[in-house]
């Protein structure tokens, strides 16, 4: 099974430590709809949970997603502008 998983194209692997390696950076291609649905899921999770740490994790993930989208938009504008020049 492990060999098959390594052969999958576009896979994202987790490190062996519980929280993952903070040095790992993944570039993902997501549609606006995917981002919207992820934001919505994270916000609903934050509202539905009572455990402080679960709420905090959902909020932090949502903020990281917003930051990544903002950064991607800024990089897209600086690379080619609105007309792709």
Q: Which two tokens stand for residue 4?
A: 């098959």
Among 64, 20, 19, 56, smallest CA distance to 38 is for 64
State which residues form the domain around 48. Answer: 2-80
Domain assignment present for residue 29? The answer is yes
Query: Which spans in the chain are helix H?
Result: 2-7, 32-48, 52-80
Predicted confidence at residue 48, as pLDDT, reads 92
In a domain, 85, yes or no: no
pLDDT for position 44: 92
Write down the pLDDT at residue 40: 93
Percent of the chain clearing pLDDT 90 (strictly above): 27
Output the pTM of the full model: 0.59
For the residues 38-53, what does the mean pLDDT come to? 91
Q: How confident is the model at residue 12 (pLDDT cuts 50, 70, 90)?
A: low
Question: Is residue 60 one of the residues assigned to a domain?
Answer: yes
Question: In total, how many domains does the chain have?
Answer: 1
Residue 76 backbone class (left: φ over 0; alpha: ψ -120 to 50; beta: rest): alpha
């Amino acid at each position: 099974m492990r060999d098959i998983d390594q052969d999958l194209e576009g896979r994202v692997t987790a490190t062996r430590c519980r929280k993952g390696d903070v040095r790992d950076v993944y570039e993902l291609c997501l549609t606006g709809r995917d981002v919207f649905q992820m934001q919505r899921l994270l916000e609903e999770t934050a509202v539905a949970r009572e455990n402080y740490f679960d709420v905090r994790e959902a909020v932090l993930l949502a903020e990281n997603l917003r930051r990544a989208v903002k950064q991607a938009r800024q990089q897209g504008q600086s690379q080619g502008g609105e007309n792709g020049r």
